[in-house]
């Protein structure tokens, strides 16, 4: 059955990611009378797969049709999974058994031994089903799962909204959780059932309000004894309390604790991502118990409309990236190792924040951000539209509002204890507006404030006028692409536009939630003219233009303290099957890093201004065929000075203090001669205050 974790006498957690059979149900024409959920269905000939799994890892990123031919052509429909498993009477007898899906897109139906055990609508949150009534202990049981990622008008994001591939399948892991009849509630919107709220936080004291939600599956009322212990990061106990509580038959109750904590260590971002652990033990009946550990952090934050973001009373520059759950190896079916690699790259670049676009991400990502000290903007999947109706009425489908509220509740309850999470997002680039849509948005805002009184609520706006400026939110982000899309304006105009909105139009604190532009690894050109030579939706995506654009934009952002955050679109190129641009198909290429995790020059620019670790990077290494008179040679370095050498001969030294108004780390040597008709070695050496020297090199052929 897999690896077991947890206490052997109480809760057991068993991963069941191996040994599944899979069938894309569009193939059913070749299998007459197929009833995948039937217990006696012969699945011996089906494909064997392990979870996580998606059926769109290839066709969801191949761009075969292209935007000009109708866009996305990847499979959107039903897929079926089956697994046979034995539940032993010794291990599971007398216990309640739940199955947890960490994520499956978009609609999931579970059948146990041929009977429907549950249905979940929504592709991004974890969810559980109680399968106890359907099990045959001591015998083989058949789990059958139908997953459907067909477009829908009821579940956000609706229809085909959002510039990303919506990959189908059980694309995160699955586990079984067996607990005694009295246990921490497992049917609380997929949450841990434990909610830790630090209050009255000071330098030498904090109060912890801890709520433990309990459930009793027994046919009789039960008295439970709940023991709470708090451990510091060294696993030393720092506080303890216990409480008796009565749970009615088949009912639920909450045990509340008020824990004073002296001299708390604060979660302080990357400087000190300190975590505590709450351990809950629930005893009831004849020594039966449930046991669970929940990590949490203690911190305060606030956002000032003029001075930006403050963590624990001190200013923190929220410089960040947008990140999609997607990898070149297997699409959305990412492993934890792949996620860890990605977030370490984000942190190594010097980012202090991540916007998880455009839906709830897997629990491991939030845990990574807790440990790495990255602050998080996380959001639900309302992207562009609430209504598929393109008329002026914009009628919202029945059920949409309820499902959006479900997704928001899941997002908040499942991630409530992560100190990294600072804002809940409730939409991205909404461009429809009616009284009904305004009411739905307002309802979501009020729900977020009810579910969590400690965090701020936001959304990413791309409209900037009328009632969009009136939508309820504590803070707001702007998605703007100056220097890329031709209707936005040149990169140098970004700052003035922000000042206008900050000073005269926007009543809420603002950040830039998306900015950037595309870059093809194989494309370079000297002296690019943005208006005539950049094709945002086409082939010409010069890499050296992307880096120059980011340099110009960041210079403006760095001078505007009122921006509470700056989020690049995006960290990695990602699957967007309808695109065909630059030198890729089926991808959005605005990443600072390719989908195969190769950094572009712009990655190193941000590393030079965000991360104080000594570095030097010579740009345009791939621009190998150059004129004998190179218009400019550019490098990024954060030392005291840097010197350029061509074939061993110095072309001059530049102090890392900036020239011609450029940023201090952007170093440019103009009109550099290289030898024609032969290969030239180009070397940049950076010199640092401690006497160390770093160098980077390229080889260019002179024409």
The catalytic residue positions are 429
Q: Are 233 and 267 in contact (CB under 8 A)?
A: no
Query: Burial, 45: exposed, middle or buried (Cβ in 10 Å; 0-12, 13-18, 19+)?
Result: exposed
Joined tokens for residue 221 = 């009322």
First to last CA, the chain: 64
Spatial separation of the C-alpha atoms in residues 373 and 376, rounded to whole Å: 10
Q: What is the CA radius of gyration of the chain?
A: 27
Q: From start to end of 166-323, where are the E strands?
A: 174-179, 182-184, 194-199, 205-216, 222-231, 237-247, 252-262, 267-268, 272-273, 276-284, 288-296, 301-304, 308-311, 314-315, 319-323
| Nearest one of 677, 590, 682, 592 to 632, comparing CA atoms | 682
Residues contacting residue 263 through CB under 8 Å, at least 6 positions apart: 204, 205
DSSP secondary structure letter of residue 28:
G
Spatial separation of the C-alpha atoms in residues 396 and 386, rounded to whole Å: 6
Sign, CA dihedral 16-164-74-111, equals positive
Spatial separation of the C-alpha atoms in residues 560 and 546, rounded to whole Å: 22
Spatial separation of the C-alpha atoms in residues 457 and 446, rounded to whole Å: 9
- Would you list the DSSP string of 102-169? S--BSEEEEEETTEEEEEEE-SSS-EEEE-GGG--TTSEEEEEEEEE----SSSSSPTT-SSS----B
Biggest CA-to-CA distance, the chain: 90
CA distances (Å), origin 690, targets 639, 687, 694: 10, 9, 12
Phi, psi of 214 (to 5 degrees): -120, 155
- Would you list the DSSP string of 479-517? E--TTTSTTT--GGGHHHHHHHIIIII--S-EEEEE---
For residue 341, the surrounding DSSP H or E stretch is helix 336-348
119 strand-pairing partners: 109
For residue 375, the surrounding DSSP H or E stretch is strand 375-379
Spatial separation of the C-alpha atoms in residues 383 and 415, rounded to whole Å: 21
Q: Are 581 and 546 in contact (CB under 8 A)?
A: no
For residue 437, the surrounding DSSP H or E stretch is helix 435-451
Q: Are 637 and 667 in contact (CB under 8 A)?
A: yes
Q: Are 670 and 702 in contact (CB under 8 A)?
A: no
| Residue written as token pair 């052509």 | 73
Joined tokens for residue 301 = 């934050």
Q: Are 366 and 421 in contact (CB under 8 A)?
A: yes
Joined tokens for residue 317 = 């520059």
CA distances (Å), origin 388, targets 290, 315, 394, 528: 46, 42, 7, 39
CA 482 distance to own-chain centroid: 24
């Amino acid at each position: 059955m897999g690896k077991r974790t947890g206490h052997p006498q109480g809760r057991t957690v068993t991963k069941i990611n191996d040994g599944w059979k899979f069938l894309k149900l569009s193939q059913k024409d070749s299998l007459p009378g197929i009833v995948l959920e039937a217990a006696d269905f012969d699945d011996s000939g089906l494909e064997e797969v392990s979870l996580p799994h998606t059926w769109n890892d290839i066709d969801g990123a191949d761009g075969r049709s292209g935007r000009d031919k109708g866009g996305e052509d990847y499979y959107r429909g039903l897929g079926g999974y089956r697994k046979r498993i034995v539940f032993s009477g010794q291990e599971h007898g007398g216990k309640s058994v739940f199955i947890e899906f960490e994520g499956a897109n978009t609609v999931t139906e579970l059948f146990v031994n041929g009977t429907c055990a549950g249905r979940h609508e929504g592709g991004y949150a974890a969810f559980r089903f109680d399968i106890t009534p359907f099990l045959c202990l001591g015998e083989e049981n058949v789990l059958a799962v139908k997953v459907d990622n067909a477009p829908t008008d009821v579940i956000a994001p609706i229809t085909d909204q959002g510039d990303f591939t919506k990959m189908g399948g059980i694309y995160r892991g699955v586990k079984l959780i067996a607990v005694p009849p009295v246990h921490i509630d497992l049917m609380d919107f997929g949450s841990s059932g434990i909610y830790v709220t630090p209050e009255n936080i000071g330098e030498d004291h904090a109060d912890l309000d801890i709520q433990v939600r309990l459930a009793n599956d027994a046919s009789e009322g039960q008295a439970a004894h709940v023991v709470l212990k708090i451990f510091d990061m060294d696993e030393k106990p720092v506080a303890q309390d216990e409480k008796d509580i009565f749970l009615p038959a088949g009912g639920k109750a909450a045990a509340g604790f008020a824990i004073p904590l002296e001299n708390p260590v604060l979660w302080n971002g990357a400087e000190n991502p300190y975590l505590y652990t709450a351990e809950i033990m629930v005893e009831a009946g004849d020594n039966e118990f449930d046991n669970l550990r929940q990590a949490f952090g203690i911190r305060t934050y606030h956002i000032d409309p003029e001075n930006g973001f403050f963590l624990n009373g001190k200013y923190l520059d929220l410089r960040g990236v947008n990140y999609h759950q997607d990898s070149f190896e297997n699409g959305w079916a990412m492993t934890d190792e792949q996620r860890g690699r990605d977030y370490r790259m984000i942190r190594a670049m010097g980012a202090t924040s991540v916007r998880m676009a455009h839906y709830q991400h897997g629990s491991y990502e939030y845990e990574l951000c807790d440990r790495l000290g990255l602050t998080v903007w996380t959001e639900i999947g309302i992207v562009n539209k609430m209504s598929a109706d393109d008329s002026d009425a914009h009628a919202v489908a029945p059920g949409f509002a309820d499902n959006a509220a479900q997704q928001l509740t899941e997002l908040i309850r499942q991630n409530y204890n992560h100190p990294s999470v600072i804002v809940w997002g409730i939409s991205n680039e909404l461009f429809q507006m009616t009284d009904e849509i305004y009411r739905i948005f307002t309802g979501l805002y009020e729900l977020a404030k009810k579910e969590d009184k400690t965090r701020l609520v936001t959304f990413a706006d791309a409209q900037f006028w009328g009632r969009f400026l009136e939508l309820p939110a504590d803070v707001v982000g702007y998605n703007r692409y100056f220097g890329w899309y031709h209707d936005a304006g040149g990169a140098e105009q970004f700052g003035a536009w922000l000042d206008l909105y900050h000073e005269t139009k926007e009543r809420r604190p603002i950040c830039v939630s998306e900015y950037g532009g595309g870059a093809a690894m194989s494309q370079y050109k000297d002296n690019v003219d943005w208006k005539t030579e950049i094709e945002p939706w086409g082939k010409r995506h010069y890499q050296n233009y992307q880096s120059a654009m980011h340099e110009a934009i960041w210079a403006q952002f760095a001078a505007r303290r009122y921006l509470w955050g700056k989020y690049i679109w995006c960290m990695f190129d990602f699957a967007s099957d309808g695109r065909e641009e630059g030198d890729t198909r089926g991808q959005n290429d605005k990443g600072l890093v390719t989908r195969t995790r190769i950094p572009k020059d712009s990655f190193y620019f941000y590393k030079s201004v965000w991360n104080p670790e000594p570095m030097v990077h010579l740009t345009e290494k791939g621009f190998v065929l150059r004129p004998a008179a190179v218009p400019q040679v550019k490098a990024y370095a954060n030392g005291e000075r840097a010197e350029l050498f061509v074939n061993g001969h110095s072309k001059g030294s530049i102090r890392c203090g900036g020239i011609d108004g450029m940023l201090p780390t952007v170093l440019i040597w103009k009109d550099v001669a290289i030898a024609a008709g032969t290969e030239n070695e180009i070397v940049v050496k950076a010199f640092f205050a401690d006497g160390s020297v770093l160098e980077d090199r390229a080889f260019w052929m002179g024409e």
